[in-house]
With several copies, the nearest count.
Chain A
């Protein structure tokens, strides 16, 4: 199975791919298109890749994880134009025990973000578009974290607004 997918990611298929009778735990991470980034309202996201390198590097990351832990790893990344709530990346890691499944799952998603040549172009609510540059967003992201911490202190309001957003969840 190739790493890059033009179709919606099939999480159940990924679970089936890594499952086996001896594996008692599956840790999964799914990265979804979020409606905000660095304080701006995002409407859509376009993913593109340097495909041959992305396939090679992702296969290497999977092999590294399977060498380091006794696990089986399934990994997919979506390409093309995605709406809010659509899955962009999915990692499923099955092992006999949960420790190794969690550790390997975390390793794979961090390495994918660090090493796989994929880019995203955000379209904002105001109609503008921009390539995402994570190296320029570090400052914005830490500011956003500060805001989230501040807002989580207003607990009642946060829960209420989170319930409201739930209604428009896309999956």
Chain B
């Protein structure tokens, strides 16, 4: 019985400001076949071309709130990678 082509689950990560420039994209899709944390997502994006310049000040927001590295992330979440904030 042939396996139906599986749709690999991904976490879509929106990129903002300087990080969008660095990766040349407004978002990237990170594979999430197993349990995935904010730290996993960040490590994966840092391994992409241009991603090595993402510094320690980077923030990850999950569902509009700043998330800690150990927080789990699922494909349905709204995830965003944010450079150091500079409002005001």
Interface residues of A (CB under 8 A from B): 31, 47-50, 52-54, 56-57, 77, 88-89, 109, 112-121, 131-136
Given A131-B21, A133-B18, do A53 and B88 touch, yes or no (CB 8 Å)? no
A116 to B88, CA, bound (A): 9
* Contact call B88/A88, Cβ cutoff below 8 A: yes
Q: Which residues of B contact A119 (CB under 8 A)?
A: 16-18, 83, 85-87
- Tell me the nearest residue of chain B to A113, going by C-beta: B88
- Tell me the nearest residue of chain A to B87, going by C-beta: A118
Secondary structure dominating the interface of B = loop
**Number of residue pairs across A and B with beta carbons under 8 Å?**
75
- Tell me the nearest residue of chain B to A58, going by C-beta: B87
Q: Which residues of B contact A131 (CB under 8 A)?
A: 17-18, 21, 83, 86
* Contact call B64/A53, Cβ cutoff below 8 A: yes
* Contact call B88/A50, Cβ cutoff below 8 A: no
Given A48-B16, A131-B17, do A118 and B86 touch, yes or no (CB 8 Å)? yes
Interface size class of B (residues with CB under 8 A): 20 to 34
Secondary structure dominating the interface of A = mixed
Q: Is B2 an interface residue (CB 8 A)?
A: no
Given A50-B16, A50-B80, A131-B17, do A115 and B85 touch, yes or no (CB 8 Å)? yes
Task: Pick the contact of B85: A31, A109, A114, A121 (CB < 8 A).
Answer: A114
